[in-house]
Structure 1
Amino acid sequence: MNASSSSPAGVRPAEGYAGDVTPETAAAWMAGGQAVLVDVRTDAEREWVGYVPNAVPVAWKQWPGMAMNPDFDAALRAAVPPGGRVVLLCRSGVRSVAAAKRATELGIEAYNILEGFEGNADGDGHRGNLGGWRRRGLPWKQN
């Protein structure tokens, strides 16, 4: 899909995948059944930092060592119905771009969630203060 020609409203064009969306847009699509939210963070990140209820966990890279997940393609295909749309979430919106590009290569309409779960680091190097899913008050839980 060419992001510049037929993107849904509120999508920022991107190179190599359908586009970037705000956390609020991703949450609305997920709540309305218009997209599957796939969390590409590691199991450790979801366990320690928090997770989005009803998101499908499919790590892009695996902890420890951050090696590529050899099961990513199969797990993503299993998570997103044929012809479906996926919104991808990571910590800050970097790994999810790579995952969106891979999803697109697999023929899936894929969007990166801007700011990720924790947002960008602030002046002190701390995440969680500048944007992100959690900071924006969207649904999340912590173990």
Structure 2
Amino acid sequence: MTPPKRQRRHPRKQEPPPQRPPEPAEGEGDDDDRPEPERLFVIGGGDGTEDGGADGARGDLDLVTLVVAHAEPESSAPPEQAAVLRLCVAPLSVAEISAYLALPFSVVSVLLTDMLTAGLVQARAPIVRQALPDRSILEAVMHGLQKL
């Protein structure tokens, strides 16, 4: 036997259905909330190089490169640079920075390259698993210390 359904003492008020914003005209915009390409171009500072050359330092940055801030954000700094400097007090990967700022990796890599050349941040490769000591060596040291 199933218990009877309970009824509320104070019924909920019926909320009107949410109104949809007016549809944009053809070619006026997309449905998603991505930043406009012009804004991304401005954040990236153009093509990311002052002399218009090849990628250069940007080739050193990948998704797992760790970034650490070396300076405090100045009041005249662009908001994206200030956000990166505040985020990178502790080491963060480029992928994490990209996710926190909700910007594409390509824009973040250009932004970080500019910050690297200005000396505001430092980038370093993550610790490679093979560079760690062998487990058997660590166990031998631990057993030797336990015998003392």
TM-score by length of 2: 0.26
- Comparing both structures, which one devotes a greater share of its residues to helix? 2
Q: TM-score, normalised by structure 1?
A: 0.27
Larger Rg: 2
